[in-house]
Structure 1
């Protein structure tokens, strides 16, 4: 059944006249007549009875007109949705990011994206770099904001920023007045660190812990927020990436580790841009522009 013929039929029923339907559709009158004749031949029924210059729809035609209207509206909605998806204004995006990048740098970007593209179904997860990379490789995520994935996963990786580890201190701590902290300053202290699968824990163990492990005790805490609250309660010091948003005026500060300066690169990991939807590409672009404006400008030069 020709959809154009159904559209012509629906217009003829509304107007009760082939000529007026032809004018609306910008068809020649003969084209309208031919399409209706072919539709009737295809169905094996008469859809109209002529009454002078007007046409009266038959019972079969009235039923078909109702069904055709529903179908044409559905097709119109399908066309609009497909167009919106192609423009990035509809569809779905699932991605993940590590903490504290997710809360400290991406929350505002995601909120703005959702406000400007309300039809896009966006899912943002928070996890560890290793699991994020593996899920991107498995196709469970469109992309991830994490550290560089292992080469064996064969993922593309766009570096965005370099992050440095620092020491979170309560303002009442004797070291809080220092501009920077050395590994030796941590002797005898309780150090709060993330779980072993966290990239910041890995960076800590690679850069500092092996040489200084006998000088202080470590306590594993699975959340930067919990570390923050424990330091605020004057229990231990925290090993965290340097983010001003993690500090609290009058109670918490973060000081850099001066003698070791451990650094890790955070970026966007994905399989192949050719398989990403427009909405995912636009979100990646928004993240680049927000997290690293200079890189965003270079990509567009």
Structure 2
């Protein structure tokens, strides 16, 4: 069946007159009549019968009107949804970020995005840089916010900012009153570090590699939040990215490591910009607003 003919038929029944339907659809009256005739010929039934000057809808016509109305409404919704997806008003985005970038840098950006685009189905995950890059390559994620992926994965990478490692200390710790700390100052203290697959753990071990490495006693902790709570409980010293949001007034401070200055670049990684939906591209653009250096550094 011709969709235009169904639309014409629906208008004729709804408005109760062929001429009114022609005016609404901006057709010539003869065009409306011709489309109805073709629809009846295609179906092999009469949809209208004439009673003098009146045109009455047949039983078959009444059933078709009900179905045609639902179909046209569905098509209208489909058209609107497709249009919304094309403009980024609707759609879906699935991405992942490392911590503490996710909580310290991206949370506010994501909240604003969701408020302005409530129809977009957004899934934000938190993971490690390696797994994020591999999942982006596999097509499981639209993009990721992490360290630079291995070249063998052939992913695009847009640098956003640099992060530096620091030392998280309890305010009662004897090193807490210093503006900066040397690596040698950490000797014989319990050092709380992330798991071996974490980029911050790798950065720390690369920075201290050499003669000083055996001076440190490290304890692996799988969460920056747990490291934070353990330092607060005066269990050890945490190695964390320098974020003011990880400090706690009166309890915790983060100091730079003066003689090491370990730095890593964080950015957006994706497979192919042409494969990304409009909503994903818009979210990436919002995330680029954090390109400026971290004010806590």
TM-score, length of structure 2 as denominator length: 0.97
State the SS of the aligned residue for 2:149.
Answer: coil
- 2:48 and 2:61 mapped to 1: Cα distance? 7
- 2:134 and 2:201 mapped to 1: Cα distance? 19
Give the deviation of 1:289 after TM superposition.
1.1
Written as runs of structure 1 = structure 2, the 5 A alignment for 1:89-128 is 89-128=89-128
- Name 1:255's counterpart in structure 2: 255
Give the deviation of 1:273 after TM superposition.
0.6
Structure 1: stretches of 5+ with no match in the other structure: 295-301
- Name 1:146's counterpart in structure 2: 146
Give the deviation of 1:211 after TM superposition.
3.2
Encode CA deviations 1:53-82: one digit per residue, 9 max, x unaligned.
331100000000000000000000000000
Task: Determine whether 1:24 maps to 2:24.
Answer: yes
- Name 2:199's counterpart in structure 1: 199
State the SS of the aligned residue for 2:176.
Answer: helix
- Name 1:80's counterpart in structure 2: 80
Encode CA deviations 1:96-124: one digit per residue, 9 max, x unaligned.
00000000000111111111111100000
Written as runs of structure 1 = structure 2, the 5 A alignment for 1:199-218 is 199-218=199-218
Contact 2:160–2:290 (CA<8 Å) still a contact in 1? no
- Name 2:175's counterpart in structure 1: 175
4+ residue runs over 6 A deviation: none
- 1:184 and 1:255 mapped to 2: Cα distance? 14
State the SS of the aligned residue for 1:13.
Answer: helix
- 1:259 and 1:26 mapped to 2: Cα distance? 78
- 2:263 and 2:55 mapped to 1: Cα distance? 79
State the SS of the aligned residue for 2:56.
Answer: strand
- 1:292 and 1:50 mapped to 2: Cα distance? 74
Contact 2:162–2:293 (CA<8 Å) still a contact in 1? no
- Name 1:240's counterpart in structure 2: 240
- Name 2:156's counterpart in structure 1: 156
Encode CA deviations 1:164-218: one digit per residue, 9 max, x unaligned.
0000000011100111111100011000000000000000011114432221200
Give the deviation of 1:279 after TM superposition.
0.1
- Name 1:43's counterpart in structure 2: 43
Give the superposed CA RMSD. 1.2
- 1:12 and 1:236 mapped to 2: Cα distance? 80
Give the deviation of 1:31 after TM superposition.
0.4
- 2:214 and 2:153 mapped to 1: Cα distance? 36
State the SS of the aligned residue for 2:203.
Answer: helix
**Cα distance change of structure 1 residues 105 and 59 upon mapping to structure 2, 3 Å threshold:** same
- 2:188 and 2:293 mapped to 1: Cα distance? 41
State the SS of the aligned residue for 2:211.
Answer: helix
Encode CA deviations 1:14-66: one digit per residue, 9 max, x unaligned.
12211111011111000000000000000000000112333110000000000
State the SS of the aligned residue for 1:176.
Answer: coil
Task: Determine whether 1:284 maps to 2:270.
Answer: no
- Name 1:230's counterpart in structure 2: 230
State the SS of the aligned residue for 2:123.
Answer: strand
- 1:206 and 1:200 mapped to 2: Cα distance? 10
**Cα distance change of structure 1 residues 190 and 209 upon mapping to structure 2, 3 Å threshold:** farther
